[in-house]
Structures are given as structure tokens and as C-alpha cells.
Amino acid sequence: MSARLTRAQVKIEETWNLDDLFPSNEAWEKGLAACEAALPTVTQYQGRLAESAATLRDALGAQEKLTVQFIRVMTYASLRNSEDGTSPANQGMMARIQALGAKFNAATTFFKSEILAMPVDTVEAWIAGDAELAVFANNLRDTLADKPYTLSPETEKVLASFGEVFGAPYMTYLRSRTSDMQFASFTDAEGNEQANSFNGFEGGWEIVPEVATRHAAWESFVNGLRPYQNTYSATWATEVKKNVVMAKVRGFGSAQEMLIHGQRVTMDAYNNLLDVIQTELSPHMRRYANLKKRVLGLDKMKWIDLKAPLDPTYSPATNFDAARDIILEALSPLGDEYCAGMKRALTERWCDLPDNVGKGGGAFCSSPYGVHPFILITWKNSMRDVFTMAHELGHAGHFLMAQKYQRYVNNRPSTFFIEAPSTMNEMFLGQHLLKGSTDPRFRRWVIMQFLGTYYHNYVTHILEGELQRRIYNLAETGAPITAVTLSTTKGQILSDFWGDTVEIDEGAKLTWMRQPHYYMGLYPYTYSAGLTCSTAAMQQIQAEGQPAI
């Protein structure tokens, strides 16, 4: 059995280069101190925002500058922790940046309070008459939209000072998942002992073709999750209750209404996505499950078998260099400027590839303003990794371009839209691979990757969103949120969707323990929104060609 490498043992060329943020931890320390020392450049405007358009403009500019400075410091600490959450030094950096963030939030709450105290007509007149202030128009109008839900300045300042405490559930979950949770080794189909981990399972063992290996890895994984279910249920319950209480304090009808308000979409849009996709997609996914069961020759379709490859004897491999060329060719229709950024991401160590002890699970893209994006992925040299990389490069390309042409205050869209550029890149990649091959096995494999994208966004994440909806509804009634509640509810959601076509075992019911998105507001359902947007856009591109691009 090969043991997982520590961070110190991985190849440096396979890791991201955080020197572009800070060349060392010591430099970060200086950046942290400088960031804190700069706070008075913003707080000097307290009590003065209504003086004039020029004062408001200068204050917002100072706030923007300090925020960009803080994001750089915060991103470095966050990425260090993501690459190895077991490191005491990395844990310490995260604790310190969270404390500073809470201090900043408390010290700058006067912005919202003072802007809300101004007449709307005055703000609009200043925006119309000052081109520099107009840069902040969206920010100002979003703030004014919060007026019915904003408390007194004193109360807002107190709540902001609790930022580190309010973020504790998420930090507790991440710290436990990366530092404490261990998985026993298992025996594969050939009798070899194999190591297991969060990243190893979700990035590989979950989709291996050998049934015995996949099921053994699943048993090891579930056994690793089980001892933590009461801790994780209490952690998530705290997150849910925090939002329920905050929504009541602010005057929202529910926690979900409060969280959706922040996305600037309607409750109807939120509920329609959850309702329509589950109701209308379920029959097709049951057919899909039955097809897999028949093709794979399974006596029964277990939940762990849903991601198994349709052709167990075929799994196209690749390497990072080849994958880079494929991705750049696939994205070439998006133009030279866009692809130049993608090439830099793939050649200048913007990506972190190895699977080491303490590395965060899944894949993500972090895009600190004024630097460049950083991508975390666990690279296994499979073609599936190429799709994952293309997805994260979609986020990277989006923010690379947005930050080049927009001020910080205007560079981020609503969370509702955030997954559209990422899934768009997956579509470009898949179409490119289909056009470049006549091999029926490979083409079928590519089609299965497309299905995998829709499965991930329209099934996995939409059912996570449904779990959030039901749990928040329960919490609003005062019902206790326990491990039994979460597993029972998750099991019912899966059963409602899959019917009797899929066996829903204990491990399937425990999948609520696997997703950090539950601590990010109502995020899971937005994957379906983003994929809907990008699907519609891709259909337009296919119909119109380059003008649509």
C-alpha cells in the first residue's frame, strides 16, 4: 500500500506558486500588519458620508482599496490552509485573518448605516452628477435595497464584531474534515491493500470500474464518516439556527428569504429550480439508472454505482501536459485574449495538483483581485480531470477578464450566475473532443462526461439544495436538527427522486456530511442555475457561431 504524501514530500512543480501573493509567511505577516494599520484610512470617514458626493466617493474608494488589500492577505492564509489543513502554522494564519476580518467588518458598518440614512433621491442625484461616484452605483443601490432589513448602527456594529464566531461552524467543519477524519485502508479486487481519503475517494475510488474495489472503498469511506455524524450535525444545525435567528432579527419572512435576497433573485426562481428539475428530471434519471444496471450487469443498482463508468473496461488516461493542449484548443473559439490567460494558468503554476495529507477536498478556483486566480484540484491523470480543470478554468477566465476590465466593486456577479462560465467551458471541451474523434468508445465516454456534468449540477447539487430547503423549513418550526433528522431527510429525498430503481443505503443518507457548500448560504441550487444559463448560451453559440461568442 502506498501511503499518502505529506505536503513537504510533493513535487514543487505540481503545486501552486503563492509567491505571487506573498513570497513568504514572513512577508504575509508584514502584509497583515500593514492591512490592520490601514484601517484608519477608512474609519476617518465615519460620520461624514452625507457631507457631499465627493466625500462619499472618496470614502468608498478608500474602502475598496482596503478591501483589495485585505483580500490578498486573506487569500494567502486560506490557500495555505487548503493545501494542508493539518499544519498548525496554517491553522494559526486562518484564525488571525478571521479575527482581523471581524474587526474590519465591525469598524466599517458605518458605511451601510450612513448610506441608508441618506435620502434615496440624494444618492441618485450624486450618482448622476459624479462620474467617479457612478462607478459605485451598483454597490450603493444594493445597499439601499437592504434598508428594510437593516438594524440600528450600534446593533449592526455589534453583529459585525461577531463575524469570527458566526463563521465558526464552517471553520469547524473544514478543520475536522481535513485534520481529524481518517479512513481505514481497504482491499481492492486484486487483493491489494489501498489507502483511502476524502480526496482519494471522491477523486478516484468512487468511479473505479471494478465493482468489488468500488464497494470496498465505499464501505471504508462510510465507516470513516459515521463516527463524526453527531459532531457534523451539531455544526450544521448551528449554521442553520444562526441564519434562522438572524432572519427574524432583520425582519425577513424566513432564513431562505434572507439568503436569497443576498443573491438578488426571487424566491420564485429558487423554488422553481428545485421543484421543476426534481419533478421533471426524475423519470429520466430512473431510466438512466436502469440502463446502467443492465449494461453493467448488476443484480441491483446501489447508490455508489450511479457514477460507475458505463464501459468498465475503458477509461482514457492523459497527463497534465497533454490535457493543457487539449483544453487550450477547445477554448480557442473564445479568443486570443481569453486563451492567453488560460495558458498562463496552466503553465505558470496557478494550479495545485497533488493529493497530500491535509489537502482540502474537491476542486475550487480562488480569484484575489489584482493578482490572478488560483486553482485547487487533485490531479489523477484521467480524462475526467480534464473536464474538472476546464470547469475551474471557466471561473478563472471569468474573473481574470472581469478584474482586468472592472474595478473591484463591480467584478463579481450574483451567486445565482457564478457557475455559468465554468460549465460553459465543460461544454466547449466536450464538443471539441467529439469533433476530434470517430472512435465510438471514446465518443460514448465523452457523452457520459456531459451526462456527468448534468448529473452533478442537476441531481447531486439540486438534491443538496432540496435538503437545505427542507432542513430550513424544519428549523423555522423549532424542530431539532440532529444526525437522525439529516440522514432521514436525505434518505427520503433520494428515495423520492430515484424511486425503487436505486438502493439508498446508510452511506447515501450520510452524504450531507460531505458538502461544505451547506455553510455558504443557499449555494448548492445555484449550480443548476449556472448550468441552465450556460446551456442556453451554448445553444445560441451553436446556432449563430462566432457572433454569439
DSSP 488-501: HHHHHHHHHHHGGG
Task: Classify residue 503 by burial, with Cβ atoms within 10 Å: 0-12, 13-18, 19+.
Answer: middle
DSSP state of 377: -
Please answer whether residues 151 and 251 qualify as being in contact, where contact means their C-beta atoms are separated by less than 8 angstroms: no
Summarize the chain as % helix, strand, coil (round to 5).
Answer: 70, 5, 25
* Beta-carbon contacts of residue 66 (< 8 Å; ≥ 6 apart): 35, 38, 39, 41, 42, 104
Tell me the pLDDT band of 503, cut-offs 50, 70 and 90.
Answer: very high
Give the model confidence (pLDDT) of 386-423 as tens digits.
Answer: 999 999 999 999 999 999 999 999 999 989 999 999 99
How many angstroms separate the CA atoms of 513 and 521, rounded? Answer: 16
How many angstroms separate the CA atoms of 7 and 356, rounded? Answer: 6
How many angstroms separate the CA atoms of 488 and 478, rounded? Answer: 17
**pLDDT, the chain, mean:** 94
Does the reported pTM lie above 0.85?
Answer: yes
Give the model confidence (pLDDT) of 142-162 as tens digits.
Answer: 999 998 998 898 898 888 888
Position 177 scores a pLDDT of 87
pLDDT value at 362 more than 90: no
Residue 58: which of 132, 137, 147 has the closest Cα? 132
- Which residue, chain included where needed, has cell 466547449? 428
Position 163 scores a pLDDT of 82
How many angstroms separate the CA atoms of 42 and 142, rounded? Answer: 20
The CA–CA distances, whole Å, from 263 to 136, 257, 267, 395, 417 equal: 18, 10, 10, 18, 9
Max intra-chain CA distance, the chain = 76
pLDDT value at 178 more than 90: no
Mean pLDDT of 170-188: 89
Position 160 scores a pLDDT of 83
Instruction: Tell me if residue 375 falls in helix, strand or coil.
Output: strand
The β-bridge relationship of strands 364-366 and 193-194 is: unpaired
Give the model confidence (pLDDT) of 307-319 as tens digits.
Answer: 998 888 888 889 9
How many angstroms separate the CA atoms of 177 and 358, rounded? Answer: 9
Instruction: Tell me if residue 194 falls in helix, strand or coil.
Output: strand
Position 314 scores a pLDDT of 86
C-alpha cell at 454: 448534468
pLDDT value at 8 more than 60: yes
- With left for phi above 0 and alpha for psi between -120 and 50, is residue 152 left, alpha or beta? beta
The string over 530-542, giving b where at least 16 C-beta atoms fall within 10 Å of a residue's C-beta and e elsewhere, is bbbbbbebbeebe
* Beta-carbon contacts of residue 47 (< 8 Å; ≥ 6 apart): 110, 114
User: According to DSSP H, which parts of 183-266 are helical?
Assistant: 198-203, 211-225, 229-250, 255-261
Position 161 scores a pLDDT of 84
Please answer whether residues 501 and 289 qualify as being in contact, where contact means their C-beta atoms are separated by less than 8 angstroms: yes
The string over 214-241, giving b where at least 16 C-beta atoms fall within 10 Å of a residue's C-beta and e elsewhere, is bbbbbbbbbebbeebbeebbebbbbbbb
Please answer whether residues 417 and 533 qualify as being in contact, where contact means their C-beta atoms are separated by less than 8 angstroms: yes
Mean pLDDT of 206-213: 91
Position 311 scores a pLDDT of 86
In 271-363, at which residue ranges do the beta strands (DSSP E only) sit?
Answer: 351-352
C-alpha dihedral sign at 288, 499, 474, 167: negative
Please answer whether residues 83 and 28 qualify as being in contact, where contact means their C-beta atoms are separated by less than 8 angstroms: no
How many angstroms separate the CA atoms of 525 and 522, rounded? Answer: 7
How many angstroms separate the CA atoms of 452 and 461, rounded? Answer: 12
pLDDT value at 425 more than 90: yes
Cα atoms in the 13 Å half-sphere on the side-chain side of 377: 25
Position 1 scores a pLDDT of 56
Cα atoms in the 13 Å half-sphere on the side-chain side of 182: 6
Tell me the pLDDT band of 2, cut-offs 50, 70 and 90.
Answer: low
Strand partners, 193: 187
Please answer whether residues 231 and 497 qualify as being in contact, where contact means their C-beta atoms are separated by less than 8 angstroms: no
Of 100-109, 188-197, 345-354, where does the model show the most confidence?
345-354
Task: Classify residue 307 by burial, with Cβ atoms within 10 Å: 0-12, 13-18, 19+.
Answer: middle
pLDDT value at 108 more than 80: yes
pLDDT value at 164 more than 90: no
C-alpha cell at 211: 465493482
The CA–CA distances, whole Å, from 456 to 205, 323, 388, 541 equal: 17, 22, 12, 23
Mean pLDDT of 349-361: 91
pLDDT value at 247 more than 90: yes
C-alpha dihedral sign at 8, 214, 304, 503: negative
Please answer whether residues 449 and 430 qualify as being in contact, where contact means their C-beta atoms are separated by less than 8 angstroms: yes
Please answer whether residues 133 and 127 qualify as being in contact, where contact means their C-beta atoms are separated by less than 8 angstroms: yes
The β-bridge relationship of strands 186-187 and 193-194 is: antiparallel
C-alpha dihedral sign at 4, 396, 336, 443: positive
One-letter amino acid identity for 112?
K
